[in-house]
Amino acid sequence: MDKSFLDWPFFETRHRELSAALEDWCAVHLPVDHRDVDAACRGLVAGLGQAGFLRHSGADAGEALDVRSLCLIRETLARHDALADFAFAMQGLGMGAVSLFGTEAQRAWLEKTRAGRAISAFALTEPGAGSDVASTATLAARAPGGWRLSGEKTYISNGGIADLYVVFARTGEAPGARGLSAFLMPADSPGLTIAERIEVIAPHPLARLKLDGVVLPDAALIGRPGEGFKIAMSVLDVFRPTVGAAALGMARRALDEALARVRRPRTGGGMLADHQIVQGHLADMAVRVDAAALLVYRAAWTKDMGAPRITREAAMAKLYATEAAQEVIDAALQLHGGDGVRKGFAVEALYRDIRALRIYEGASDVQRVVIARSVLG
């Protein structure tokens, strides 16, 4: 695989060393057996924790998350095994609120997730509030010494295997987005049940949660009451470029698979790569890969250089990289002919893996709205 992008000025020596170390780990440990996704995810979290890579999924008090490292790790893992990327990503996204806003006591959980000894989840989406976070209906009412939460969350990654959830609920300080708060909710909290396990085209742990009077102490509140929307958007600001990075990793893999396929000798002589129409497809794929990489690492570098918010850059990175990856993977599948849709071929798995990335953490059309509002200013 072409790794010349690591020489771009976005990266430092430590990033190149991290990439090399992770490549070595992936060569030994990936891909994993996906037949039992719960067990696979638990094993991946433990393995990534033991190898030290999950240290990058959180930040110590007073430190910032290194978004370039997050992106490099997600890109590399996604190129080898999409489930490995998922396992890493959810440790970061799930505990992003604690990394950015958590108390010293809450950071005890962060140390567990960064070591691979606990699995985290980010519980934001609801049946009636997907991209429209301001419509969150889960309620958190004052109770003696804390809060009582009631409502539903759905499409929650790691739902059913997580040890703790960061859950967003309406505390009512103001209408809409200004009346939300964030809470740290252990999975064994009385009143929390897994109402449904959800199966999707690229299997991973996913569930609908029911909160029936879950009582949490005041110490479970992340930040201050009414800051939930700000917390959620701050977390997504950091992690949206990493979704683009995961898509980029899948696109790179698809391009590599396509190149290997078209270079194979054909019966009667020659290769598919000899045809100009095939070369045109490969050129388009290569351009999309490089353009996605530039947008992803521009966003990551901007955040790492101290920008307080990268809403526009993150939206552009996620939108372009995920849409471009879908096109690159589709082209790679087409170049494989009938084998492209056969189980056991990498491009068939990539075709299923990429689709959700255009939806979660803000669907593509939502990113378009974010970008348009920024342009209109």
Please identify every residue annotated as catalytic.
361
- Going by C-alpha positions, the residue among 119, 55, 127 that lies closest to residue 86 is 119
Is residue 300 within 8 Å of 246, Cβ to Cβ?
no
Euclidean distance between CA atoms 55 and 14, whole angstroms:
14
- How far is the CA of 245 from the CAs of 69, 82, 224, 285, 292, in angstroms? 11, 12, 32, 16, 8
Q: How far apart are CA 247 and CA 237, in angstroms?
A: 17
Annotate the chain with three-state secondary structure.
CCCHHHHCCCCCHHHHHHHHHHHHHHHHHCCCCCCCHHHHHHHHHHHHHHCCHHHHHCCCCCCCCCHHHHHHHHHHHHHHCHHHHHHHHHHHHHCHHHHHHCCCCCHHHHHHHHHCCCCEEEECCECCECCCHHHCCCEEEEECCEEEEEEEEEEEECCCCCCEEEEEEECCCCCHHHHEEEEEEECCCCCEEEEEECCCCCCCCEEEEEEEEEEEEHHHEECCCCCHHHHHHHHHHHHHHHHHHHHHHHHHHHHHHHHHHHCCECCCCCEHHHCHHHHHHHHHHHHHHHHHHHHHHHHHHHHHCCCCCCHHHHHHHHHHHHHHHHHHHHHHHHHCHHHHHCCCCHHHHHHHHHHHHHCCCCCHHHHHHHHHHHHHC
Longest CA–CA separation in the chain, Å? 80
